[in-house]
Structure 1
Amino acid sequence: MMNTAYRWLGSPAPGGLVLPAANPTPSHLYAPRGVYLDDERLIVADSGNHRVLIWHGFPAIDHQPADLVLGQPDFFHEGPRATGRGPDHGFQLPTGITVAEGRLYLADAWHHRVLCWHRIPDRSGTPPDSVIGQDSLLDIEPNRGGTVGPHTLYWPYGVAWINGWFYIADTGNRRVLGWRGLPSDRQPPDVILGQPDAYSNAENRGGPPTANSFRWPHAIAGDGETLYVADAGNHRVLGWTPPPESDRPADLVLGQHTMHSAFEQPHVPQGAYRLRFPYAVACNSHRLFVADTANNRILGWRPPPRVGAGIPAQTVYGQYNFDDSGENRWQAVAANTCCWPYGLWLHRHWLVVADSGNNRVLIWHTEN
């Protein structure tokens, strides 16, 4: 599918395969990894610049400057921990974003925590109000400086709010944590997926891939009927129908023909079902999209598959066809190409893509 993105945020490309500029400004991005859109705002985790940018409303023009910045003293600084101000004001590789019950949640991945603003910030530099996964906003050690437990995080890359459940993709601990309602720190999760208990974090539970294990769970999405997890390290997406309230095997696998394979074959035709490092997933009741990151494309299913294995996609964004997988199609950075798309968000008919390798965010108008 060769439709062109409706909106391009980040600096323009100078031509050919030369990437857009990434120096921190109100309109430049560096390797963004997380995106969120609703009727009132667009929020982007500008991961390489260790900051979050917020636009009021839907961007009206390409390359539009952001209205607010979080995690840095101004729009022109970058670096971990807000250029020396400390981890209570700054981030290190912010990734997943969501809004739940009027609160902003951010996966501050390399600080091993999820940050929360109890209301959406309306001014730049607003510090977070609370934290999940650490004892305080000044603490940043993996698993709170100890071993894995029910209240610890290690490289959490994804967050999601789905049908009254809050989820964290606790990537380094190879598990997904879920709470009924919004959690507070030290509140144990109501469900743990991917591990036999709250004190284990072995890759694929210490064995080969199964229907209830992860290598790198990176992102979470759902529509209330099915919960989807992008298991990037196993080159697959798992789905549970209905969403699980306890640890159990998945009902769906995309990207693999069975629940027990993690096949990867780079630089060959991939087809409509194969995935390589899928880092993001987004859905509503009508459509499912997966960021097939290492194949430099977005795959789409309509309606969302819910049970089975190896179901082929019907649409592709970023490539000419299902067999191509080159970065920017090995031609030029354009409004219909991708280079390592890393984050997705679906709102109404708008598909927002953190096109990380191109230092930009694209917004596509999808079919109804």
Structure 2
Amino acid sequence: MGRRALLYLSDECNQRVLGFTGIPSSNDADADFVLGQPDFTTTGQANGANQFGGPQSPVISGKELLVSDWYNSRILIWKTAPTTTQAPANIVVGQAKFGTRTDACSAKGLDAPETISVGGGKLVVADSDNARVLIFKKIPKKNGQKADIVLGQKNFKTCVELNNGEGATGSPTAANFSYPAGIWTDGKRIVVTDEDENRVLIWTKFPKKNFQPADIVLGQPDFTSDVVNNNGSGGSGLPSAKNMNMPYDGVFSNGTQLFVDDQENNRILVWNTFPTANFTPADVVIGQPNFTCGVANNDGSGCTSGTASASNLSQPTGVFQINNQLIVTDGNSRYLIYNGM
């Protein structure tokens, strides 16, 4: 028998990451170990090598574990994915060393990174409050390592929302962000959720230069629109298979399907084939009975809110897949596991 898959789930407000030696097969399963805390009942926040300040987006790459530490403006890297409680990280990115917390707009600095993704040996970071995405061509091997490429900004010294190309705030384009939150890459493509602009940007070929424009936009008919639940004519309407309302941290692809959390529409959108054109409609919706409803905790009778159930969602903030199991971070303080996705 092969080794059971390790599962790491961030518990952001409790300043910890829960570790499971296998995918849970029953409700309310206990974690096997915890990172960031000395035990399962402590919730303190700090910035040491074995502490967190808002952990998000645990990612396993080969033997390594990487975690985005939002409040501490850093990425923590374990050279070997830990299986014991409060194991310290080996490498910190975004800070010069462990035990410090400084927000910075530079090739070495970060400011409230939401999520990370690793593909093809490359690390991509949503440096959210700096309105940019940082690309490391290789997973960092030392503290405070510099990024190689920046998206959303022309250089590493500028960090303005919706950069107009001259270092000032402008309007949405294919090359800028307002608040990049969710990110996915396979080392050949990049997908970024631009939360405040109600859109998802896709680079169909891996970027090679700073400020490189995206190739495809979802949620909007073009790169200059930013309307909530865009009705296709530039106005705000009901939710649909094409539009979005604040897509947040959750974006994932298995290479063919694309999954996006549409937070304020309380749903996950699924494209069964990786999109190749602007404003492509999703094929499947999770958390709602149809594409035109967006209420939290849909009670199943139409478009009315009820209580949390196995079929609904409330402000989902994350989505990823292990084998054929889809795991969704739900605002009802739970993780939902869908088999056969």
Partners of 2:274 and 2:145 in 1: CA distance = 32
Structure 1 partner of 2:166? none
1:167-316 aligned within 5 A: 167-183=124-140, 184-205=142-163, 206-247=169-210, 248-265=212-229, 269-279=238-248, 280-306=250-276, 308-316=277-285
Q: Retained in 1: the 8 A contact 2:93–2:145?
A: no
- Please show how residues 23-102 of structure 1 align to structure 2 within 5 Å: 40-81=5-46, 87-102=48-63
- Mapped to 2, the partners of 1:352 and 1:252 lie a distance apart of 26
Aligned Cα root-mean-square deviation (Å) = 1.7
Residue 39 of structure 1: how far off its partner (Å): 5.6
User: Which residue in 1 is equivalent to 2:339?
Assistant: 365
Structure 2 stretches of 5 or more lacking a match?
A: 164-168, 231-235, 299-304
Which aligned runs of 4 or more in structure 1 are off by greater than 6 angstroms?
none
Q: Is the 8 A contact 1:87 1:140 kept in 2?
A: no
What does residue 319 of structure 2 align with? 344
Tell me the distance in 1 between the aligned counterparts of 2:91 and 2:143.
8
SS of residue in 2 equivalent to 1:138: coil
3-state SS in 1 of match to 2:171: coil
In the alignment, what sits opposite 1:125? Answer: 86
1:319 has 2:277 as partner: no
Match of 1:353 in 2: 328
Would you say the 8 A contact 1:222–1:284 is kept in 2? no
Q: Distance between the aligned counterparts of 1:227 and 1:309, measured in 2?
A: 15
Letter matched to residue 238 of structure 1: L
More helix as a share of residues: 1
Which consecutive unaligned segments of at least 5 residues does structure 1 have? 1-37
For residue 3 of structure 1, what is the aligned residue in structure 2?
A: none
In structure 1, which of residues 102, 105, 113 is the aligned counterpart of residue 74 of structure 2?
A: 113
Distance in 1 (CA, whole Å) between partners of 2:339 and 2:273 is 17
1:89 CA displacement? 2.8
- Contact residue 134 and residue 149 of structure 2 kept, 8 A: yes
Length-normalised TM-score, structure 1: 0.83
* Higher mean C-alpha deviation, range 234-243 or range 257-266: 257-266
Shift of 1:186: 3.7
Which of 103, 122, 139 aligns to 1:165? It is 122
Segment of structure 1 superposing worse, 157-166 or 266-275: 266-275
Q: CA deviation at 1:269?
A: 2.0
Shift of 1:366: 4.1
Identity of aligned residues (%): 33
Q: Is the 8 A contact 1:190 1:245 kept in 2?
A: no
Aligned residues: 320
Q: 1:39 to 1:199 in 2, by over 3 A?
A: farther
